[in-house]
Amino acid sequence: MDVKETVLAILEDLTGQDVSEQLDMDLYEDGLLDSMATVQMLVEIDGQLGITVPVSEYERSEWGTPQQIINQITALQS
């Protein structure tokens, strides 16, 4: 599974919604993610992809949409 598929699967597990067709959806403004779900997402990203994102470095404005999350994870892998 690649980064995009993994991130979308994690988001679907957390939110109960398939966001694969809405990559620019603001997950916070639409009420799909909150602070607890954000921590759970970061734990899942670490567990499934081996990418650790310190909560102190997490900026909601840079991680607010599925596409932004995919982009950030891809950048951290490099």
pLDDT digits (tens, 9 = 90+) for 29-77: 999 999 999 999 999 999 999 999 887 888 999 999 999 999 999 999 8
Q: Which CATH class is domain 3-77?
A: mainly alpha
pLDDT score, position 57? 80
Residue 31 main-chain phi, psi, to 5 deg: 75, 15
pLDDT score, position 77? 87
Rounded (5°) CA angle 34-69-20: 90
Any idea where the domains of the chain sit in the sequence? Answer: 3-77
Asked if residues 68 and 8 have their Cβ atoms less than 8 Å apart, the reply is: no
pTM: 0.92
